[in-house]
């Protein structure tokens, strides 16, 4: 694990030069995207006045013939820009993101194009809505002391289809989850299923919200940590086991993690694994195109996200081996 001072040193000695080299590609991608889009907009804006002018002369097709070269040029520019953007992304992931991961722990494996598997997502039982589109990247897997873990960015969606009065079909995509998804060994074979979710009802309605806390995932578990219960709601199929899992130390740790990241979190303890999903409504490890990506603040942001793995394992005491699977 590296601290902020070491991260600053890594940035100044290694990452800054790599990011500066990538700036030329970024600017070329930006120019290509802007110019290609402007050509399409220019062609569209000229189409109407040219059509009016040539309609009087009986050459209705001429405006289209005039604008075709501009459209073709726009397509060529955007295709070439897309190829450059892929090169830019691949280099950013392998030179910068991988560099941050290796600096935290050189034994961790990083794959920029893989993600948490569908089966792991389903086993977590955190989100029961059926998934129609499943995407993710930036998979990290490894061990922290004795605990194995896997973590990646993930975006799951479902689709609805509506029809207008003329029979026109319209598809709409809805996000189920978007953010960081994490799973680790919990060191104990769990009999029941325990779930921790954001307590939006109590946050909005106070004590009245407590009465509205119901879930198909089990019965509400009442715990003796008022601050924890303002943030989270706990449901379980085994009340005794849920209280055994959620020790005062773990509840306080989850409060601290929430304070640090200030994002809605979902957790489940199932089988011998703990699953954690933290909401983010943005791409977390993608290179910027329309702004400089060479800033230390961007490197620090990614570093803090990767430290989420260690925060969960250390704060939840997953390395203490209090329990065994025997």
Question: Which residue's entry shows tokens 């603040």?
Answer: 297
Region 231-245: mean pLDDT is 92
- Strands (DSSP E) contained in the chain are 109-111, 133-144, 147-163, 169-185, 194-198, 219-220, 232-236, 265-270, 273-279
The better pLDDT of the pair 326, 99 is held by 99
* pLDDT the model gives residue 84: 93
Share of the chain above pLDDT 70, in %: 86
Contact of 318 with 187, CB cutoff 8 Å: yes
d(CA 323, CA 22): 48
Contact of 320 with 192, CB cutoff 8 Å: no
List own/partner pairs for 299-302 with CB under 8 A and 24 or more apart.
Answer: 299/7, 299/11, 299/15, 299/96, 299/100, 300/4, 300/7, 302/97, 302/100
Tell me which residue of 220, 309, 195, 320 sits closest to 257, measured CA to CA: 309
Return the bridge partners of 197, or none: 233
d(CA 25, CA 59): 43
Ranges 129-143, 240-254, 272-286, most confident: 129-143
Instruction: Report the phi/psi class of residue 58: left, alpha or beta, with left for phi > 0 and alpha for psi in -120 to 50.
Output: left
Confidence of residue 41 (pLDDT cuts 50, 70, 90): confident
Q: Residue 248, Cα to own-chain centre: how many angstroms?
A: 29
Contacts of 164 (CB under 8 A, 6+ apart): 170
Q: Where are the alpha helices (DSSP H) in 206-295?
A: 207-211, 226-231, 239-245, 248-261
Confidence of residue 204 (pLDDT cuts 50, 70, 90): very low
* pLDDT the model gives residue 57: 59
| pTM for the whole structure | 0.83
Mean per-residue pLDDT of the chain: 85
Question: Which residue's entry shows tokens 């209705």?
Answer: 60
Range with the poorest average pLDDT among 132-141, 146-155, 291-300: 291-300
Contact of 198 with 233, CB cutoff 8 Å: yes
Region 195-220: mean pLDDT is 67
Tokens (6 digits) for 132: 């129609």
* pLDDT the model gives residue 320: 62
pLDDT above 90 (res 111): yes
Question: pLDDT, tens digit, for every residue of 1-29?
Answer: 677 788 889 999 989 899 998 999 999 99
Confidence of residue 208 (pLDDT cuts 50, 70, 90): very low
Q: How long is the chain?
A: 326
Angle at the Cα of 45 from the Cα atoms of 50 and 164, rounded to 5 degrees:
110
Range with the poorest average pLDDT among 11-15, 50-54, 132-136: 50-54
pLDDT above 50 (res 316): yes
């Amino acid at each position: 694990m590296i601290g902020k001072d070491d991260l600053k040193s890594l940035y100044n000695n290694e990452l800054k030069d790599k990011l500066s080299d990538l700036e030329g590609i970024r600017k070329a991608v930006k120019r290509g995207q802007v110019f290609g889009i402007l050509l399409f907009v220019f062609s569209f804006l000229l189409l109407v006045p040219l059509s009016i002018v040539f309609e009087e002369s009986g050459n209705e097709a001429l405006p289209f013939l005039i604008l075709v070269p501009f459209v073709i040029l726009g397509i060529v520019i955007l295709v070439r820009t897309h190829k450059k953007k892929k090169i830019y992304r691949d280099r950013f992931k392998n030179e910068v993101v991988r560099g941050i991961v290796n600096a935290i722990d050189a034994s961790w494996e990083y794959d920029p194009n893989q993600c948490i598997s569908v089966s792991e997502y389903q086993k977590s039982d955190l989100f029961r809505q059926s998934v129609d589109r499943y995407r993710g990247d930036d998979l990290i897997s490894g061990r922290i002391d004795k605990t194995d873990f896997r973590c990646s960015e993930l975006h799951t969606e479902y689709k609805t289809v509506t029809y207008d009065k003329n029979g026109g079909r319209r598809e709409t995509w809805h996000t189920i989850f978007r953010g960081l998804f994490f799973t680790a060994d919990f060191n104990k074979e769990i009999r029941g299923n325990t779930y921790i979710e954001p307590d939006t009802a109590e946050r909005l309605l106070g004590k009245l919200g407590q009465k509205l806390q119901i879930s198909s995932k089990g019965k509400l578990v009442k715990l003796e940590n008022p601050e924890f219960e303002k943030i989270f709601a706990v449901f379980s199929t085994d009340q005794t086991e849920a209280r055994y899992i959620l020790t005062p130390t773990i509840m306080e740790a989850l409060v601290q993690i929430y304070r640090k990241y200030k994002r809605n979190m979902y957790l489940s303890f199932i089988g011998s694994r703990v699953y954690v999903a933290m909401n983010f409504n943005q791409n977390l490890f993608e290179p910027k195109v329309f702004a400089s990506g060479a800033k230390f603040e961007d490197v620090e942001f990614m570093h803090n996200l990767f430290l989420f793995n260690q925060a969960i394992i250390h704060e939840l005491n997953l390395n203490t081996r209090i329990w065994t699977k025997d």
